[in-house]
Amino acid sequence: MKRVLDHIDKYIYLYIIIIFTVAFGLLAHAYRFFNLDFSHDSLLICEYSNKNWQLSLGRFLQPVYWFFRGDLIPPFLVGGLAILWLAIANYILIRVLEIQSLKAIALICGVTSTNAVLTFLFATYLDWADTYMLAYLLSVGAVYLTEKYHYGCLFASVAIVASLGLYQSYFNVTVILFLILIVKHCLEGKESRDVWFCAIRYFIALILGLIFYYISLQVIVVGWKGIPLSDSVHGVAGVGDFTGVSIVNLFCETYLMPIRYMLYPETFHRRISGCLNGLLFLFAVSALLKKMTASKMKKNLLFLTVLCLFLMPFGINVVFFIGKGVVTSHLTIFSYCFFYVLILMIYEELNLKMFRRFAIPMAIVIAFNIVFANQVYLKKGLEFEASESFMTKVTYSIEQTDGYVPGETPVVFVGTPEESVLYRKRTGFDNIMGHGLDHPFGYTYDGTYRCFFDYIMSYNINFKGISSSDIYVTMPEVMAMPIYPAKGSCKIVDDVLVVKFSE
């Protein structure tokens, strides 16, 4: 019986964290898990054709993961796996920070499960949601290995490589969590030598991880697969080359970007949430100052604490610096929610009695995140239905055009559906903005049109795209055509069927 009780006590926090993470995850994202609503990049419903591109971006472990998960993207499966990896990561995070308070555990699960990055990810980039959460799990796991084992920094470097091989932006999480741990050790009153030794081990783990990742790219991607690394916006070919870049300006932008975001976050009632974040910051600073004054912290530990706190806005956004400022996607800033993790760690370490000062503002932020997520998914659902309705009308008009042969006649769109006179802006949705939310229809570029015809409509069409329409725009015959849906807006010009949505 004692063994059973010991087992229950050992894993009770795991069960609690899973329950909290799943509960908050479903409150915020269940709508998305049980609906199709594919749009933009998530229209790439089968990942088979996307593997080489991901390899060129340095994400060489994504195809390996998809081999076990499958290339197809069922929303419930992908969402369920994402929440599972998130729950395990939260368990490791809470273990490594030694958080004991049930309220603090609930809030950590809430902020990591409902933040806007996950909302944008599920809404528009569902294909990679579970992949990115696995990268988050590995990033936190690297910190745990470094902290709990004497030579853990060696194993941690492998976890960092695996995380980078899935998605590079969760390197931010490893960096900020190391900084939080250094502050934690200082507040605990550890010997200066021990704290500095921990800091050195953390630094070694990060450096080894980056070195081994570079070697892996050269051996696996460039050497074995023979795929050149991409120098696109999200590519890694130019990483480390700061030629022509102002380091000072880049550092300042990297530093200020998280501060600006937290003061005006992507959520429901952004200004109120920004004020609440400012209030949480003031509470935390006040509590830290009282602790440092009362405990008479050693000067070198005080210096290290202040240094780490100062570096946190940079550490929480360090991938932006490494990427020379080109990585600006809201998918890359999951680490920003560690602002709340830091505050809860401070509460735990200082054993503060007035927990409501932290809990109430944070609970309101979580509630706003849940409202925002469901609003976003409603918008995406309406976009998906509008996309089906609009393209059904267009394909019917195409089929009625004299001389059109289904699947053989090339089809070109001049203009886009949102430029059509049929498009009407949705009233009341002006505030539902963010990454991937600036299009009224699911199809946003040539590749997504093809995916929509292939996967959603299963319609055989020889679509040549929108980008190839430039040569037709200035043709006198096309210029004379009326705007869709007027009669004559679908017409064969030089053996190509042109659908004209705008001038």
Three-class SS of 373-414: HHHHHHHHHHHHHHHHHHHHHHHHHHHCCCCCCCCCCEEEEE
Sheet containing 496-500, strands listed edge to edge, beginning at the edge strand earlier in sequence: 462-465, 410-414, 496-500, 490-493
Q: Identify any residues that bridge with 496 across adjacent strands, giving them in sequence order.
A: 493
pLDDT at residue number 108: 95
Q: For residue 329, give the nearest of 472, 227, 231, 436 by alpha carbon.
A: 436
At 436-452, the pLDDT tens digits run 788 889 998 888 999 99
Give me the chain's average pLDDT, please: 89
248: tokens are 């000072």
Q: Is the model's pLDDT at 312 over the cut of 80?
A: yes
238: tokens are 């130019």
Residue type, 416: T
CA angle 185, 190, 194 (to 5 degrees): 90
pLDDT at residue number 121: 94
Dihedral angle over CA of 118, 119, 120, 123, nearest 10:
120
d(CA 65, CA 235): 20
Instruction: Report the largest interatomic distance among the alpha carbons of the chain, rounded to a whole angstrom.
Output: 88
Q: Looking at the whole model, is its pTM more than 0.85?
A: yes
d(CA 361, CA 266): 16
Strands 410-414 and 496-500: parallel
* Confidence class for position 310, pLDDT limits 50, 70, 90: very high
Q: Are 187 and 239 in contact (CB under 8 A)?
A: no
Mean pLDDT of 128-144: 96
At 44-71, the pLDDT tens digits run 988 877 888 899 988 999 999 999 999 8
Cβ neighbours of 247 (radius 10 Å): 10
Residues of the chain with pLDDT > 70, as a percent, come to: 96
Helix (H, G, I), strand (E, B) or coil at 463: strand
Q: Is the model's pLDDT at 326 over the cut of 60?
A: yes
More confident residue, 227 or 82: 82
At 231-279, the pLDDT tens digits run 876 778 778 778 888 899 999 999 999 999 999 998 999 999 999 999 9
